[in-house]
Structure 1
Amino acid sequence: MGSPSKVVRPEEVLESLKNDGTIDALRMKIIAQLKANEDMKKTTMMMVEHSKVLNTPGAEKKTKRELFDALRQELETPVLEKASKAVWDLILDNGGLGKEITGTVEKVFYRLSGVDMMPPPPPAAGPHQEKDDMAVDECEKSNASDPSSSRKRPFSDMSRKGAGSVTNGSGPDQPELSEDGN
């Protein structure tokens, strides 16, 4: 499958992502998607329109710099909180950018650990899985009705008799054999 792997610390993965410019590229994609977020734009505009700073008497007499500083003081925290939530939504999204970030981090991790090939993704349970499960159930039913099929002891029988004892499997009333065969 792959070559031997070494233990890779998260800091090593992060350092590699920083050094090859991946972090900067991902940051730019996040910023572009955040700028394109219409809900974020609308929310910010509404917050500015309803601002106490702009809606207080005498606001028109203040300089642009005074208004800007007062708006920043009033709105910076709530706007940044909304932006932070939007960024986390992008990062954790299993479809778009989040999937890209996860894939990129995994590739770097596998490269640094010396693994040649990434393991295949786990099979998704779907209609095919249900059919497979039904087939296994049918097979188990047919084996249960067939007395000639081999029988397995339940785990509870094994734990009651002890780890060192083994039965010959011919039936419940057969004598037990110990590990040395006696």
Structure 2
Amino acid sequence: MAMAMARKISKEEIVEKLKDDGDFDRLRLKIIRRLKDNEELRNNMISVVKESTALNRPGAQNMKTRQLSDAIFEEVGSKMLSQLSDGLWGIIRSEEGMKNEIRETVQSVYATLSNPGGEKCRLPEHKIRTPVPGGETSSCPVSKQKQELIHGRVEESKGEACSDEEDPELPPGFA
């Protein structure tokens, strides 16, 4: 008996599906909200601007808003962008930040692409309990029987979709 060859899922397909389903925008907005809510980062940036020589030089109060803004950005822009970048990556990579949610979303999309025509492995609101590394699960209002069925399908599809060289726990590009 010949077993059907599993189709290799590319990184581009996963990213395209994330964009098409709105997952990318949803995650991006959550990250931006968390960045905006970072009081320490906000206070650091306010302090940098208040201490800038462009803001404190004689005649600064007579400058047009755009001119003053450009002068401040020219002086401290790279420092502020660096702080923003560090804050952003901190949110994306931290366990308390978005790391697990991003991983779960990507794994769910990968499982869906790996098992076309099979049982759907996710709901639009991403609330189905799906296994994640470390034995954790995401919460959802789905029956225990449905969870076990989905878990079985996800595990089956992982085995079929991955070659021997790949880690079956991670979609392409996330090793």
Question: TM-score by structure 2 length?
Answer: 0.62
1:84 corresponds to? 85
1:107 corresponds to? 108
Letter in 2 for 1:59: A
1:46 corresponds to? 47
Q: CA RMSD in A?
A: 2.5
CA displacement, residues 117-173 of structure 1 (integer Å, 9 cap, x when unaligned): 77774569xxxxxxxxxxxxxxxxxxxxxxxxxxxxxxxxxxxxxxxxxxxxxxxxx
- 2:55 counterpart SS class: coil
Deviation at residue 61 of structure 1 after TM alignment: 2.5
The whole-number CA distance in structure 1 between the counterparts of 2:109 and 2:91 is 21
Deviation at residue 58 of structure 1 after TM alignment: 2.2
Residues 25-34 or 71-80, more deviating: 71-80
2:76 corresponds to? 75
Runs (4 or more) in structure 1 with deviation over 4 Å come to: 115-120
Percent of aligned pairs with the same amino acid = 35
CA displacement, residues 20-53 of structure 1 (integer Å, 9 cap, x when unaligned): 1111111111111111000111001100110010
2:36 corresponds to? 35
Counterpart contact for 2:91–2:99, Cα < 8 Å: yes
Counterpart contact for 2:104–2:132, Cα < 8 Å: no
Change (3 A) 1:95 1:6: farther
Letter in 1 for 2:59: G
1:17 corresponds to? 18
Deviation at residue 104 of structure 1 after TM alignment: 0.2
2:56 corresponds to? 55
Letter in 2 for 1:8: I
1:97 corresponds to? 98
Change (3 A) 1:40 1:60: same
Letter in 2 for 1:33: R
Unmatched tracts of structure 1, length 5 or more = 125-182
- 2:73 counterpart SS class: helix
The whole-number CA distance in structure 2 between the counterparts of 1:20 and 1:12 is 12
Rg comparison, structure with higher value = 1
Question: TM-score by structure 1 length?
Answer: 0.60
Q: How many residues align?
A: 122
